[in-house]
Chains A and B, each alone.
Chain A
Amino acid sequence: MNMRMVRRTSVFAALLIAGIATALPVSTFADEGTVLAIGPRPVDPEVSGEEHAILTQAPNVPPPITRKHATKVIVEMEVIEKTMRLADGVEYVFWTFGGQVPGEFIRIREGDQVEFHLNNHQDNKMPHNIDLHAVTGPGGGAASSFTAPGHSSVFSFKALNPGLYIYHCATAPVGMHVANGMYGLILVEPKAGLPPVDHEYYVMQGEFYTTGGYGEEGLQGFDMNKATDERPPYVVFNGSVGSLVGDKALTAKVGETVRLYVGNGGPNLSSSFHVIGEIFDTVYPEGGSEASHNVQTTVIPAGGASIVEFKTEVAGTYVLVDHALFRAFNKGALGMLRVDGTNNALVYSGKEVDAVYLGKAAGGGETERRVTALKAEVAQEIKNNPKIANLTKEIQIQKGKAVYMQTCFVCHQPAGEGVPNQIPPLAKSDFLTLNGRDDIIRGVIAGRTGPIVVNGKPYNGTMVPMSYLTDEQIANVLTYVCNTWGNSAEPFTVNEVARIRQESPAPAASSSFE
């Protein structure tokens, strides 16, 4: 009651400001703003029963829907603004649907009636709402779910169209809400369901516009100029650099089928989604219903999604990238799928990840065979403990070469010769011997910037941090670099690298606004 009163009052005032206190019907304005109660909805004859949606955090996906009828699905989602890791040593205040970026995965069935509860956590600074692209209706639910901190809103919609859809916050300034991580995926399964697969995963790309450059430590603010210029320091999968790397890599076994639900929150960039070493057997472009087959790279627009499926054939690590490659190598758009080939190890032993990359990048057929041969020699030793610490220096060098050819050669050049006046050489480099091992490791993890002298020549550039590499990869690549092109050193160990990574300074304390 009071609301209607206030609305009308302010409408009255606004009309006075505008100087148009004419015959405009006040009720046109007042009614919309007073909608509060959830009145009785018309009964949908197709819908029976009721259930609460299972929501999952990436990279997990809720289980397939087995029921054969439409039902009422209650979705409870909480908006939380919180500080989290964006990269090693880098923090950011994310605005999230459900506490993580991307937001929780919602899975419903075509024809379902969804009752959506959006709860805006009481400690949040901002009002928020949700626009689900799966909704048919003005704003996709945005107006109906606009919620102040410490309040909640409820609205309902019927899932008319099957497909994979984005949802995102649509509160002004919408670009900033999305740039802070407010996006996720909702899958509307077709009535007939989707073909069963062995693994389903949830991957979502997004950019972050930090005030500092890539890898600059401490709590980073949102940079409006970089956002409007579309120059993000970070392009990442699942909300942070390294979210799908190492222990957090996606997994499958040889011969299994994998389905990836891939979204792109943007806010600005389209993704050229690619899995290095895989061909997508099936793609549902833009999350629609038409299947396309035998696809290498699929474009995912900002505010769009794609379903990709493939069967794993060969053991190894498959790297998920945005094939706009500087985003992958320099901005964090890298993820990994580790395919284990337990019983078929012999059959596939020559084709594990490093060899595959070499084959693509540097004609590494010979290297591939050599790794296999060396592996066979030490197979007995490594059988029970495949940690790199127990491998021979030579295998480390070969593996390190693979890392080098994937990560380092773009700048330092294939033979370590560098680029005159720009990129210092690694070949016969006095820098590597004059500086301690710890400093060399630190340079890879934390990057390097400012003037240095290498072999008597000055350089003043920036090496971006390669902290997304695993300890093992860094140990291998340094062993390779320091034992090639006239360099010589003891092998670098995983323990050495882990120790240096540990000691890298903690994120700077957050500075409060004065």
Chain B
Amino acid sequence: MNSSMLLSITTFVYAFASVLYIGSWAFKKGFMAKLGMIVLIAGVAGNTAGILLRWVESYQMGYGHAPFSNMYESLVFFSWTVAVLYIFVEYKYRERIIGVFTTPLIFLAIAYASLSPNVADKITPLIPALKSNWLIAHVITCFLGYAGFAVAFGFSIMYLIRPEKSDKESFLSKLPSLGMVDELTHQMVIFGFLFLTIGIITGAVWANSAWGTYWSWDPKETWSLITWFIYAIMLHLRTMRGWHGKKIAWVSIIGFMAVLFTYFGVNLLPGLHSYA
């Protein structure tokens, strides 16, 4: 069993968890979400083991670096952070079913890593510039930030397409109130904003220690800043202009589009940051 195989299996476990969450939403069955959570936790266990195993494998191959250095590894880590953050939220706020639009993201990211021919799962040595502890701090914090925004995105979608009141009352009573979803979105954005901020900062400090400039306006940097601006705007709209509910949900969706572009789209643009 190597890490790639373990992670492929994890992909299917996550797929199953998403099916359960979506099923609980579509068929209005609360127990499916309950089961979904258990499957999701199993997925996280596999995901964690996969990441650790890959780390060990990299040492066995003599390269010895943390598994956060290319697209494949970053996608796997993205799934992990979103899953862990989501489990934490479900546990803390004691709300089920809210994972209906979040779990598919967890599945899609790792599925893209495992199945897409564009994403190589080979373990390769690090180029000199990437050999830095700042890299680890940078990747982890950025991805915690992305995870926060991803979960917020899931909640925003949920806010916008809640079933109408006329549906089965028993199921509706299991759903969190709109106010709660709004609050949860906000909490996730705050979390994401803090970690994106730290992510950009650790990236800047790293760039300064490796190349002598903390900011060089390369497309990836610029897009992370654009994302940061969007969420900063969102925070001001909420605190100072009283934006709530639907409007905030839309801004959160736009923000997440910027996250996706920072993550994937930038590789299509000219620039330096071609890794992760």
Q: Do A and B bind each other?
A: no
